[in-house]
Structure 1
């Protein structure tokens, strides 16, 4: 039992958390009917979320905020960030060769086509309030989640740099006041085992500790066939080393990751709470191997295969061995991840006598990662090696209070310092492209600073005006070198097979003269936001917002082959306009929302073929202006007791304007990762079968429309729908469930890279049908 003193600050925090959790349920993202049963007198207007760094109801936020509970994420999703897209319309999840260890999150067509560690995503990811400078940090902390808040639209005021798409706040569970915890176990096909759990260890009435952990392993759903018919192949026998045999591995692509977190909360005084979190993670997972199917090899062979002769006897034998099963793969590389991650967060909250509140939040993140990836040919045509050493330190300080009963304010400052040492090897060793190994080593340092303020004024009960402003600055240095290692001494030799004749296509770097680069960037921007909220009736909120967003400038982290490719990229900015309406019935059985938005981009950042300083190069740069218009619809309905229906849809039209590169046909193209339509649907029915047990069934589907992954629009990813099902027997403290993901065994792509004449089209596949059993127990 807690004494009166211990209930002061911890009690207020616990109450706020309980109220927030209740509102998540009432908002329609969990069962409204169940909430009504548990709280017959529930007042849905008083419960809160913390999406905008203050206590407020989700109804009073002038924009779309999707709140996802841990139970919802695990019911139809996965143990990683893909579950965000499965539950949120307008969010696209995609992968690169690094797989789930470096996901790309796109919101409303605003995302990022760069997976290098020095590139910043457009959707600002925060874990327990701490900004994550690279998405490579995300999945190592994606466990023991209390809830996830997805804010859509630019968040340039409170979240600052790199929030042009929105912000994603991942909040882990806090320690409890009494001993207890949970165990959550999954066992599935493909040798899948996933365990997650936590235990609360209250040391005293004023010092609470929570220990949480996660372990995941699987065999993978690929069948690795080795180098197969291309064992011994050499592009130039006697000069280029023959391909060594890599034995067939059988099952491949399995997960092998572990994470742990210790959370401690200390009530230093009745008005001061100190929270600390230490997170460690290790990921030794096997990475995806792209497949060459018989069909796409046939397309490649009848095209101008610039660097390989499809009639070569070894390649003919290889073609005859191919099938159209996307999960039977040949490879000369066994791509694996070796990743270690550490995070330390410290937060101090204080309530002043004047009613003002203060928060100081410090965060340290570190990621040490190496991985190899393979092209889809089982010879060393275009294999890649990556080494990432990333660290960052952040500080955020905020003060908030009220000037009067109807005026609230918040001011704050933010500082980030990150250091990135990374290297890449491009191994074009056994092809007619370069026949060499190109090594680039980079060093990037960034100092970022921000000042922000926001206020809200409610002159009458039915109207609120909100304003915000932020100043952000970035200073970045970027230096390194690229070497042409030329292991075979064939630099300058024309390829022996090339449809245009003996034309030399070589690395523009002499083996005896490395390319050195040393550049810097000094960038700053003001962003602002103005919004108004009208309340014509208790059930309705109408809002209008005008805001700006800012994605900081930086540098291209791909292999630097020319001095022009090392030049700085300017910041990307946009102006966003939004109109919306929210409705929630008095009984909480129906809620609905509609949002209309228009984005105008300037200096849009992307990778394209450009003329930079008089030279033609393929580089990430400011390539265009762009526009996005769209609408989002969502509703939740509980028509009868125990039945919950939730659905949402996103409709987007995007266009590249005023393209600045060489290919004028790009003007008018779609933006990457901006499907015209996407939608989510979930139907959940819970029925009591006795006084002790409830049977809960769920059927859900998530659709991602066809879209492109680059502004060239030559890499169309077909639309797909993933359907999941789950049935659970629930008791008060435990449940057992059977689950199926990708129920229809849909063949779909989470990444696609079209041929450039070097290799056939490359596809990264989504998981096939998986199924298993889940056991969860609270204690």
Structure 2
């Protein structure tokens, strides 16, 4: 497209009403799609930038846009689609379009504009309207993230059907995300290979340790469901979560947001920035979160002063169970995080964005409750009552998580339709945590974890992906990460204190490519391959300290303590994907795909008690089939996905030959199901609108083969569902907006989420299977014409008692009704 001159002209209309016209010389019809990249910014500036990019004229009055903010536009769209996206949520809409499609007239509409939102994602490493992506993708924009109260990846549970989390016995700081039933059997320790690949600004987070990292000042979150072995590589057998943070806008702007709620909860967030010069922009974001603990500690109860007995003799050399006293509101957050983003436009074709990030978390480690004494008559029970929000413990465990990172993205347009991208980052983490997984003061297996993690990654891509007859992308990826982690266990059961000291170094290299061929205007075929080479080195030692002289470690674990190991693991994998997509018309398309992927093999990172547990296990592989349909037209949008997966070399923890627990390849599994999403504008008036969004996931998972030395475990496990695989999950959202005179408007959102029954482990007993639950959340916000708004929120407003996880007699209790108010100011 030739570059032409642009100008902004002030035009006079009747009755002395000023009209601004952003004019570009017309050079081509405005029905074809083109690439847009417009940051969120004040609406008047965004319209100028849009007109320049699209070579069109846009007419509007100054009063119409004053004090309003445009959303970001990114992707290959028609000018009308791009303008509708830019105007979404502003109260401004497209009133008319000239016959030649070169002049757009704007006017006041309802509070969010009559045009449907065109959601643009980068899920497949290119910008595209979500309705045209041949994969199951869910995108949540920054406004919805804030209104739904999502502050981390774990907050996607109950907001996106099919997403779940399992904490297993590693405590609430060690979450295992699952999507479509895959991931709940992962290793909770930091050296494992998660099935869900979490990315933040394009940087892969190598460990489950990052599930709880804070996410704030977000542009959007994208969730890809199902294996993504071609473009994303290993450890994506469940899917991918992409969190995209905001960058500098063209003009200076920002916001401050403060909220407070019950249980002494407070949260503050602010971000601001813009262009410092023509070629340099900065954005700073800060977040602090405190309080919110809803559990009440009752101390050690009847177990205060307890010591183990051997042969009827109390072992007085063993420290007695201590009583820490009572404590209200346990589980408080204590977190602060900051991010600085710098954008350098070296030339019109070359941009470098650098992000520096750090967070500090000193919160309470949320504790498990235990069944009441009448239902749990064991030595572990310290006198529990029926109140699920009270617990007994000999310690009130806290944690310390520190994360630091630096990442950069370089984009360069080599020539028309040829783009070069480099994404790289380094990150380090220190974590200490502790707990007692049985929800009791009795130190049966009380743990203390000390971990140091680091990672560095680099990806380079060359692509021609602007919607031509033949589009393609090729790239290379390198990752190195390390985990040094010590696990100290205090056990009255083993009558000792013992350590596992681990050091793991891992390197992964991959090359990949994908090509899209538009056979006709309606049929598109895609194919891709990815080759990966993994190497892992794993060293460690096991030490039984026997501080009290009564250790039964060797007899308990049928081994001899004081051993060390030094193991290596290497693996190659070739994954691929084939996709066919058929566009029935501009609003309706169908696709079908077949793909393969894998979860990297490696080593157990939990409690290494015997040498047998130190041997590597093989990579887990998946073969996936999926078909889907997309229908987006006017006020209505719908998507349907049907999928079927088969897994081999399933990785899980089982009984090994020496009767201890260890991770290995335990067999095969299958999952199948349906994802459904429907969105419709139920009412669209001059001053009001009402939107309904309904999504649901139906899942059937089954372990088809199980390998174990225990015949009873095999019989009990084959045919069971996978851990973290609820049969039904659903989310219903109603959002109402009404505009008042003078520029005021009110937004109300009601969300109802249902989470089906799920277990937290293989060969689960009934006391490891959590019951279904349904949560109701609300958010109400009144916005003024002066750029400030006040809001109120409530979660689980029906105060339902629910347990996201059961671990025998120990229970992880969900939050009761929480509510609060907030104030937000935009500038």
Deviation track 1:219-253 (CA, whole Å, cap 9, x = no partner) reads 51111122233221112223433223322233211
3-state SS of the aligned residue for 2:816?
coil
1:157 aligns with 2:207: no
Alignment equivalent of 1:356, drawn from 418, 433, 455: 418
- Matching of residues 132-151 of structure 1 within 5 Å: 132-151=205-224
| Cα shift readout 1:240-279 (whole Å, capped 9, x = no counterpart) | 3322332223321100001000000001112110110000
Counterpart CA distance in 1 for 2:36 and 2:376 is: 66
Aligned position for 1:498: none
Q: Which has the higher strand share?
A: 2
Distance in 1 (CA, whole Å) between partners of 2:540 and 2:478 is: 25
Residue 468 of structure 1: aligned partner: 528
Q: Cα distance 1:762–1:355, how it changes in 2: closer, same or farther (>3 A)? A: same
SS at structure 1 position matched to 2:72: helix
Task: Give the SS at the match of 2:156.
Answer: helix
State the shift of 1:21 in Å.
9.3
Shift of 1:141: 4.2
Q: What secondary structure is seen at the aligned counterpart in 1 of 2:758?
A: coil
Note the 1:291-690 alignment, pairs <5 A: 291-294=369-372, 297-301=373-377, 308=379, 318-319=382-383, 322-353=384-415, 355-374=417-436, 375-401=438-464, 405-428=468-491, 431=492, 433-492=493-552, 506-510=556-560, 513-585=561-633, 588-611=634-657, 615-641=658-684, 642-661=689-708, 662=710, 663-665=713-715, 666-690=717-741
How many residue pairs get aligned? The number is 730
Shift of the 402–740 alpha-carbon distance from structure 1 to 2, 3 Å rule, reads closer
For 2:160, the equivalent position in structure 1 comes to 88
Could you report, residue by residue, the CA deviation over 1:745-774 in whole angstroms, capped at 9, with x for unpaired residues? 1111222212xxxxxx11111111100002
Counterpart of 1:639 in 2: which secondary structure?
Answer: strand
Higher mean C-alpha deviation, range 100-109 or range 142-151: 100-109
Distance 1:158 1:21, change over 3 A: closer
Query: Which residue does the alignment assign to 2:771?
Result: 718
| Change beyond 3 A, Cα 1:631–1:293 | same
Paired with 1:209 and 1:139, the residues of 2 have a C-alpha distance of 27
Matched residue SS, 1:377: coil
State the Cα distance separating 1:36 from its structure 2 match: 9.1
Cα contact 1:554–1:568 (8 A) shared by 2: yes
1:73-152 equivalence runs, <5 A: 73-96=145-168, 101-113=173-185, 114-152=187-225
* Contact 2:37/2:73 (<8 A) preserved: no
Q: Is the 8 A contact 2:500 2:543 kept in 1?
A: yes
CA contact (8 A) 1:190 1:219 kept: yes
* Conserved? CA contact 1:160–1:472, under 8 Å: yes
Contact 2:592 2:627 in 1 (8 A): yes
CA-to-aligned-CA distance 1:411-441 (integer Å, 9 cap, x gap):
000000001100101111xx3x211112100
* Closer, same or farther: CA 405–272 of 1 in aligned 2, 3 Å: same
**Cα contact 1:73–1:83 (8 A) shared by 2:** no
Asked if structure 1 preserves the Cα contact closer than 8 Å seen for 2:87 and 2:93, the reply is no
Name the CA distance, whole Å, in 1 between partners of 2:180 and 2:472.
Answer: 29
- 2:331 corresponds to 1:253: yes
- What TM-score results when the alignment is normalised by the length of structure 2? 0.84
* Structure-2 change in CA distance of 1:176 and 1:603 (3 Å): same
Give 1:743's aligned residue: 797
Q: Distance in 1 between matches of 2:817 and 2:719?
A: 37
- Asked if 2 retains the 8 angstrom alpha-carbon contact of 1:33 and 1:638, the reply is no
Q: Is contact 2:801–2:814 with CA below 8 Å preserved after alignment?
A: yes
Q: Is the 8 Å Cα contact of residues 403 and 409 (structure 1) preserved in structure 2?
A: no
What secondary structure is seen at the aligned counterpart in 1 of 2:549? coil
Counterpart residue number, 2:360: 282
1:70, distance to aligned residue in structure 2 (A): 1.9
What TM-score do you get using the length of structure 1 for normalisation? 0.89
Tell me the alpha carbon deviations over residues 150-189 of structure 1, each in whole angstroms, 9 at most, x when there is no partner.
0111000000010001111000001112222011211000
**Is the 1:610–1:660 contact (alpha carbons within 8 Å) kept by the matching residues of 2?**
no
Match of 1:57 among 107, 129, 132: 129
Contact 1:127/1:141 (<8 A) preserved: no
Whether 1:698 aligns to 2:749 is: yes
Structure 1 residues 235-274: aligned runs within 5 Å: 235-236=308-309, 237=314, 238-274=316-352
Pick closer, same or farther for the CA change 1:43–1:186 going to 2, 3 Å.
Answer: closer
C-alpha distance in 1 between matches for 2:623 and 2:812: 34
Partner of residue 7, structure 1: none
Q: Say if 1:217 and 1:110 are closer, same or farther in 2 by CA, change over 3 A.
A: same
* SS of aligned partner of 1:557: coil
Deviation sequence 1:383-402 (CA, Å, 0-9, x none)? 11001100000000000016
Please give the alpha-carbon distance, in whole angstroms, between the structure 1 residues aligned to 2:300 and 2:287: 35
